[in-house]
Amino acid sequence: MVRPGDIIQPFRVAINGLVHTFRTQRHMRIHLYVTLATVALALALNLRVREVLVLLFMITFVLVAEMFNSAIEATVDLASPNYHPLAKFAKDIAAGAVLVTTIMAILVGLLVAAGDDTWDRIRVSLTYGSIGLPVPAKLGLGAIMLFFIIVIGKGLGKRGQVLRGGLVSGHAAYGFFIAGAIVFITDQPLVSGLGLLLAMIIAQSRWEAKIHSIFELTLGGTVGLVMAWVLFAILPK
């Protein structure tokens, strides 16, 4: 308890909270190690002050989210020591907040590391179609975009979880995305057919395991094929 008029005690309490979080939360230690590595890399790359400030802001954002997550978990365990669906829901939401902030921090870090010139080339490519993205870049971009679409799709459904079941089959989406990319990249019908066949086998395995319905597999496969069509047929080569 902080006594009125005591200036030192609030700082001591805050430091105790930081130390306790670092000692007890493995993810917090990982975030701190990544922070040190990021700062060292920023110094090695001779980044500008503006870019370093952006990185420090995103790092702080992630650390604060992790601390709030730890505080919410401790509060939920205290209020509901036994299993309860609402308690699990609260913990899942807090963990999801950390995931969102971490993903955004990674994206910001990648953009800062790429530099203004690389970003300008990508923007010109997407806007005017004068410079095409290489195949690995399109595959990576499609994988990231599919992840968000799948998560949103699963959230719209009424059953299943993010990594199992749900309205949009992630396995089918990624399988048909890769198969569609093969179709648009190669001019070999045999190779294209084998890619589509492997994607169908993936979808069939999810149906036989009773994880997804035919509709969910079809929806996932359609999402993957549309993503491949947009990236490899519409965008310039």
Q: Which residues are catalytic?
A: 66
Please check whether residue 189 is in contact with residue 145, taking contact to mean a CB–CB distance below 8 angstroms: no
Angle at 73 between CA 72 and CA 75, to 5 degrees: 65
First-to-last CA distance in the chain? 64
Q: Rounded CA gap, 103 and 218, in Å?
A: 28
Q: Find where tokens 């947009």 sit.
A: 230
Spatial CA neighbour of 27 closest among 72, 65, 75, 78? 65
Q: 156 in helix, strand or coil?
A: helix
Long-range contact pairs involving 144-147 (C-beta distance under 8 Å, separation at least 24) = 145/227, 146/170, 146/173, 146/174, 146/177, 146/223, 146/224, 146/227
